[in-house]
Structure 1
Amino acid sequence: MTAAEFSALLVLATATSFTPGPNTTLSTAIAANLGLRRALRFVSAVPVGWGLLFALCAGGVGSLVVALPLLRGGILVGGVGYLLWLAWRLSGSRSLSNVSAERLNVSFSQGVLLQFLNIKAWMLALSIVAGWVAGRPDATVRFVQVLPVLLAYAFLSNLTYATVGSLLRHWLAGPVVDGVATGTRLLVFNRLMALALVLTAAWMLATGMGLSGASTAGAGA
């Protein structure tokens, strides 16, 4: 891999990893409600899920997602539905208690699964495979070079957002009235995070339908 190719990969990884999305929104929300330590489970699940998805795309499985509208539609509907479900659970949480823990109990396996339910993640993985790996005589070497970069960015970006969320945690518990934390700020914060998830789901649905339409048009041409 040339220096120019590697630099382009770093730019793409930075732009796609550190911009707000479903993963970074959840990392922030979980850490703000439950603390950084509890958020590390989800933060660690993101690169694992993304790495598995990228490996599948490099192995050719991702092409099936593009070729089969029913499969692509299933992934899209599943991803949108899961994000809306998480938004609903998050919107009513206003205390740093076990109630919040139950509402934001995203397991490691659920965090991994979320990566596979994001149709745009499939498209991004396929784009990276096409641009940096596939069709090259040193494809295996390139895969080994690209994968750690993507995993590192996936982990560091979500860890950064989770750290910000954890730093806001005690402030969000207020304001304090008669010595009791009301959790009003946390309720507002959680509803904003829920709104971000809803908007992300809407964006996924709109762009996913656009991808489906483009694929159908291409097939009919």
Structure 2
Amino acid sequence: MSISPGPVNIITMTSGLNHGVYRTVPFVAGATIGFTSLLFCIGIGAAELIALFPDFMQLIGYFGAAFMLYMSYKITFSKGTIALEEGNQPGFFQGVLLNVLNPKAWIASISGVTAFTAKGDVSNLVLFCSLYFFICFIGVGSWAVVGQQAKRLVQTERHLRFFNILMGMGLASVALYLLLT
């Protein structure tokens, strides 16, 4: 799931293209820590809370969609400069927040904990979360590398501007889909 297309990976690829892999690492680290923290929390009992309060997932979906729309706006209207610019790239906190508010991350966490850990076995959960930490970091980080490599295809500021608009609109589409389903 970490390497499949989704909101976190769209932002990671866009940041990789606009800012390079090195400047995207804080976002990747935040997304990884956010996801594995969510995975751990689900494993120690958050899934039962979701079952008790089903409207909570809908609320997470609304907050997640709103945050994705905000990030979409930032991407769509970012500068179309070819030179790697300091600042305005998504950071650690945005990575954590995006995965905690991402319904795809919640579903993946619930599925993963259910499939790969035994209920109440904390040592197995810690092992699973530790392994997934590396899997997630590599999966999400690979999108930053893809974005940086795509820089060869984006040779003008007009091309970069078009790419940012395309990625921002793609992210907005995901957010609107979450709101409407």
On whether the aligned pair clears a TM of 0.5, the verdict is: yes
Structure 1 residues without counterparts, runs of 5 or longer:
1-15, 175-182, 210-221
Deviation (angstroms), 1:95: 1.3
Q: 1:146 is matched with which residue: 110, 128, 152?
A: 128
Map of 1:195 onto structure 2: 169
Structure 2 counterpart of 1:95, which letter?
T
Q: 1:63 is matched with which residue: 48, 64, 68?
A: 48
- Root-mean-square deviation (CA, aligned residues, Å) is 2.1
Q: 1:204 is matched with which residue: 154, 178, 181?
A: 178
The answer to whether 1:81 aligns with 2:72 is no
The answer to whether 1:52 aligns with 2:37 is yes
Structure 1 counterpart of 2:64, which letter?
G
The answer to whether 1:38 aligns with 2:38 is no
Map of 2:12 onto structure 1: 27
Map of 1:161 onto structure 2: 143
Asked if structure 1 preserves the Cα contact closer than 8 Å seen for 2:72 and 2:168, the reply is yes
- TM-score, normalization: structure 2? 0.88
Would you say how many aligned residue pairs link Structure 1 and Structure 2?
Answer: 180
- TM-score, normalization: structure 1? 0.73
Deviation (angstroms), 1:171: 4.3
The answer to whether 1:184 aligns with 2:158 is yes
Deviation (angstroms), 1:28: 0.6
Distance 1:173 1:101, change over 3 A: farther
Map of 1:12 onto structure 2: none
Deviation (angstroms), 1:38: 0.6
Highest relative contact order (Cα 8 Å, sep 6+), 1 or 2? 2
Structure 1 runs of 4+ with >4 Å offset: none
The worse-fitting range, judged by mean Cα deviation, of 165-174 and 81-90 is 165-174
Distance 1:154 1:160, change over 3 A: same
Deviation (angstroms), 1:48: 0.5
What are the within-5 Å matches in structure 2 for residues 8-19 of structure 1? 16-19=1-4
Larger Cα-atom Rg:
1
Distance 1:151 1:44, change over 3 A: same
